[in-house]
Amino acid sequence: MGFFGNIFGKKEQYPAIDFSGFKTDMHSHLIPGIDDGAPNMEASIEMIREFKAMGFKKIITTPHVMSDYYRNTPETILGGLKLVKEELIKQGIEIEIEASAEYNLDDGLDSIIDNKQIITFGDNHVLFELPFMQEPRNFQDIVFKFQTNGYKPILAHPERYSFWHRNFDKYEELKSKGVLLQLNLLSLTGHYNADTKKIAERLVDANLIDFVGTDCHRIDHLQILKAHSKSKYFNILANNLALQNKAL
């Protein structure tokens, strides 16, 4: 590269992070056969083994609940979790695992809240996501409904909602209204697209992130995270004492 190439072309180096510092992953799709995550028990156990190898101490897996597609209930989710736990014991894999859900803000969410069919985790937390096309008209109403029913809403992967990319103030507004924000670590790798990566980095820089999650659906998602373990933003997050994952 030559003298000037060595000076100007050199990138800042970061150490590989220790994923055990996050302690808990609180967004994944590991229960076999009930959503677009693990298709079977073999795939589920393979991913859980990898979580353990990466240093995670606890997993809170969160299958989709969508009224028009993944019509999961507490019975299907907790029943599936029971089978996973039994298989982990059978194979001698020691890791703490719980289940909640990733609730889609669709036409069915109102009744799920009314009927107290929410599976919470942590301090009465509930993880929910939005449609990717546009902000739902009842978004603020659902947030208020969560809160008045005693739930603490966590918005899944806000960096992935492109309708807010040109309105960064929206993220600060959400925080001011008591909505916690969960960032996908995959977003920081460029896995989704460049715009999502840019917003994810900006959210980290602005200290707006409360939780991080893998949003793991398949084994290669974890392999991507390991391949980016020396990245700048992984290092920033690994040293962010304000992240709430450890408290779960």
Residues 2-31: pLDDT tens digits?
A: 444 455 555 678 999 999 999 999 999 999
C-alpha separations of 37 from 79, 118, 127 in Å: 16, 20, 17
pLDDT, tens digit (0-9, with 9 covering 90-100), for 144-164: 999 999 999 999 999 999 999
Backbone angles phi, psi at 83, to 5 degrees: -65, -40
Residue type, 167: N
Which residue has 């709430």 as its token pair?
244
Nearest to 211 by CA among 186, 187, 240, 176: 240
Quote the pTM value: 0.94
Lowest-pLDDT choice from 3-17, 108-122, 184-198, 206-220: 3-17
Tell me the residue length of the chain: 248
Domains of the chain, by residue range, sit at 16-247
pLDDT value of position 12: 79
Enter the CATH code of domain 16-247: 3.20.20.140
CA distance 221 to 204: 20
User: Coil, helix or strand for 211?
Assistant: strand
pLDDT value of position 5: 47
CA distance 193 to 157: 13
Exposure string of 94-119, with b = 16+ CB inside 10 Å and e = fewer, is eeebbbbbbbbbbebbeebbeeebbb
User: Coil, helix or strand for 61?
Assistant: strand
CA distance 76 to 1: 59
Residue type, 80: G
pLDDT value of position 9: 53
Which residue has 């739930």 as its token pair?
151
CA distance 26 to 214: 8
